[in-house]
Chain A
Amino acid sequence: GDSVTQMEGPVTLSEEAFLTINCTYTATGYPSLFWYVQYPGEGLQLLLKATKADDKGSNKGFEATYRKETTSFHLEKGSVQVSDSAVYFCALMGGSYIPTFGRGTSLIVHP
């Protein structure tokens, strides 16, 4: 079945540091890929998405590129802020329309 693997957290960075959160997936066909963000005590919000190979999703300075050859969708941001501290979930959705989530990666950004 489909699966998503994310790097273990927490990831701890200083403000303005470069961020990478790795995400790889296993799926049949051509799923859509997503990153969701969850701020403390809240539900999940869509951060960005990509629907086909080589698509780049971007939002709020975050980017991720759909790499079919490496089955990856790594999340990056050039300069993180304290307000980016949250839990980030990588997810995929295939033809079944049932989403599959990674375990989440906690990001902590210090001033």
Chain B
Amino acid sequence: KNQVEQSPQSLIILEGKNCTLQCNYTVSPFSNLRWYKQDTGRGPVSLTIMTFSENTKSNGRYTATLDADTKQSSLHITASQLSDSASYICVVIPQGTSYDKVIFGPGTSLSVIP
């Protein structure tokens, strides 16, 4: 069964610190892997999109990496800000997919405190 798992489930860090969120997936082959940020009570917003052939993609203080051999992706947040407090969702799009096979992870809830 295709799955996307994320860790940790929740994380609390001090403002200004860095953190790394993990995504493990069993989906294979896949077309692309995405990271979304979802503020409480809002819809998800895309942070990065990587195809299966890309290893890293940056968007400001967010850097996503992909290791297709180990089926792992990570999202690194540098110099965290209070506004980074949100849920971060990893999404894997299987190759040649129909949309009911798009798989969202459960998310990691990040809290950045002063």
Partners in one complex: no
B interface with A by C-beta (< 8 Å): none
